[in-house]
């Protein structure tokens, strides 16, 4: 039995194009792998707080040495990390906002990147501790950015997951969604065809 974690990052929650794509991808996956269990993390409905000094200090303090306040601050991040640790497959719904990732996703990344837990430093460099996971990124964009200098998302997201040990990352792009109706439909159809081929 595989565990799938779906992370929606659209500010429109389940109504966002990236969330809808992620939903369709997950439905396709579960139809072909019916024993898969699903957990959904919606960053619009349950925003992750942006990192501040107090929260960061709580994260880096050893659990046995945390104050009650620090333990409370770390508890949410610990839950997010457990979800990732337990997942075999991660599906990320990713809209593009002003050429970058949603700020809520950056906050999420800041919460789950923890030295000694999800990665560690070695003499050979950093080593990710979340291995043997498949990651699928459903990227929805209003314009066309793949392969251009304005696509700051792909490298950043791939590098982040890779830093945590998740090297098997597939991107599915739905682009041109805000150009016109024909462009939107073409972009969504291309994405559906792509992930239909990916889900074996």
**Feature table: binding site:** 10, 96-99
Residue position matching structure tokens 């997942």: 87
CB 99 within 8 A of CB 54: no
CA distance 174 to 150: 16
CB neighbourhood size of 191 (10 A): 23
Residue that is written with structure tokens 């003499």 in the block: 123
Report the C-alpha gap between 164 and 50 in whole angstroms: 20
Binding-site sequence positions for FMN? 10, 96-99
First-to-last C-alpha distance (Å) of the chain: 16
Which residues does 196 contact at the CB level (< 8 Å), separation at least 6? 28
DSSP letter string, 147-190: TSTT--HHHHHHHHHHHTT--EEEEEEE--TTT-HHHHHHHHHH
């Amino acid at each position: 039995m595989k565990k799938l974690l779906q992370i929606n990052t659209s500010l429109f929650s389940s109504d966002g194009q990236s969330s809808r794509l992620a939903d369709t991808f997950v439905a396709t996956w579960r139809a072909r792998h019916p024993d898969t269990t699903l957990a959904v993390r919606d960053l619009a409905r349950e925003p992750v707080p942006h990192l501040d000094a107090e929260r960061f200090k709580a994260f880096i303090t050893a659990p046995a040495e945390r104050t009650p306040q620090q333990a409370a601050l770390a508890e949410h991040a610990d839950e997010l990390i457990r979800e990732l640790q337990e997942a075999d497959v991660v599906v990320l719904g990713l809209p593009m906002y002003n050429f970058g990732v949603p700020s809520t996703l950056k906050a999420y990344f800041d919460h789950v990147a923890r030295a000694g837990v999800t990665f560690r430093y070695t003499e050979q460099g950093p080593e990710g501790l979340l291995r043997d996971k498949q990651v699928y990124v459903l990227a929805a964009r209003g314009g066309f950015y793949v392969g251009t200098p304005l696509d700051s998302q792909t490298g950043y997201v791939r590098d982040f997951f890779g830093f945590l040990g998740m090297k098997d990352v597939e991107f599915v792009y739905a682009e041109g969604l805000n150009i016109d109706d024909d462009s939107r439909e073409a972009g969504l159809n291309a994405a559906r065809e792509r992930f239909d081929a990916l889900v074996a």
